[in-house]
Amino acid sequence: MRPSGRAFDQMRDVTLEMGVAPQAEGSCLVAFGRTRVLCTASVETTLPPWRRNQGMGWVTAEYGMLPRATGSRTRREATAGKQSGRTQEIQRLIGRSLRAVVDMGALGENQIILDCDVLEADGGTRTAAITGAFVAMSEAIGWMKARSLLKGNPIRDHVAAVSCGIYRGTPVLDLDYLEDSEAETDANFVLTGAGKFVEIQGTAEGEAFSAEELNDLIALAQKGIGDLVARQRSVLEAI
């Protein structure tokens, strides 16, 4: 039995609210249950130095967490003077995931920066961030289209993410914080709208896991991400 009473293959309530940051070219407030992440997409004409003059764009991400997104206060990284290893690992993952579905040539020499800031954390912040950042990025690309800043449609497919894990011996979908802190295995999956894998990261927190267990987690992820992509499509129909 899961602490939340959910079925093993049931996601939390998911909402995707577009346009919440009126000064940004794209934005999305994503909620996976109590986990809420504010994703903004900024369009810039400046590329990283190593990317310039190649006729191609770039997509990158930064991740942060408000100090009181968590049950006890987390030290502010700006005060600590650096981003933690965990933060860097997450923002590198978000960036890679989104780049996997973008045609950099069609983007032209533009950069899209995705800022994912966690307002409240209850497990799964990185997967919520990827799912919401795709919506924010799509809104920003719509903004660019409307201004004829693109050479073509740079979005090749959807991308969304979910975590799965083995909780008290059972593979379950979309871990919340209570489950996450206790899970024997924790895995994050990033898949495209077509159901192909962009990233798979599975870690045994306690016991190592078997090939069969891995297959169960994969099946759960495919189901969950199917749902997430449907929600993305629904919210993006407006633009």
List residues forming the annotated binding site: 86, 124-126
Residues in the chain: 239
Among 117, 180, 182, 227, binds a copy of itself (CB under 8 A): 117
- Which range touches a copy of itself (CB under 8 A), out of 11-19, 68-76, 127-135, 228-236? 68-76
Measured distance CA(157)–CA(201) in Å, rounded:
21
Minimum CB–partner distance for residue 26 and a copy of itself (Å): 10
Q: Does 52 engage in binding with a copy of itself (CB under 8 A)?
A: no
Shorter beta-carbon distance to a copy of itself: residue 5 or 71: 71
User: For every residue of 11-66, which 3-state class applies, written as one string?
Assistant: CCCEEEEECCCCCCCEEEEEEECCEEEEEEEEEECCCCHHHCCCCCCEEEEEEEEC
β pairing state of 111-120 and 58-65: parallel
State which of positions 126-185 bind a copy of itself (CB under 8 A).
Answer: 157
Using CB under 8 A, pick the residue from 53, 82, 148, 169 that binds a copy of itself: 82
Pick the stretch among 2-10, 51-59, 109-117, 162-170 that binds a copy of itself (CB under 8 A).
Answer: 109-117
Taking the least distance from each CB to a copy of itself, the nearer of 3 and 67 is 67
Beta-carbon count within 10 A of 7 CB: 9
Identity of the residue, 153 or 201, whose beta carbon is nearer to a copy of itself in the bound complex = 201
- Please select the residue that binds a copy of itself; options are 52, 146, 194, 234, rule is CB under 8 A: 194
If you search the block for the tokens 């489950």, which residue do you land on?
179
Q: Taking CB under 8 A as the rule, does residue 232 contact a copy of itself?
A: no
**Non-local CB neighbours of 154 within 8 Å, separated by 6+ positions:** 57, 102, 103, 104, 106, 107, 141
* Structural tokens at position 204: 């045994």
Distance, CA of 191 to CA of 225 (rounded, Å): 7
3-state secondary structure (DSSP) of residue 176: coil
106 close to 153: Cβ distance less than 8 angstroms? yes
What are 199's two structure tokens? 């990233």
Number of chain positions touching a copy of itself (CB under 8 A):
62
Choose, by CB under 8 A, the member of 103, 182, 199, 227 that binds a copy of itself.
199
State which of residues 31, 32, 37, 40 lies at the interface with a copy of itself (CB under 8 A). Answer: 40
3 part of the interface to a copy of itself, by CB under 8 A = no
In angstroms, what is the minimal distance from the CB of 139 to a copy of itself?
12
Look up tokens 């871990």; give the residue.
175
Residues that bind a copy of itself (CB under 8 A): 21-24, 27, 34, 38, 40, 42, 44, 62, 64, 66-73, 76-83, 85, 87-89, 92, 96, 100, 113, 115, 117, 119-120, 157, 187, 191-192, 194, 196-204, 207-211, 214, 218, 222
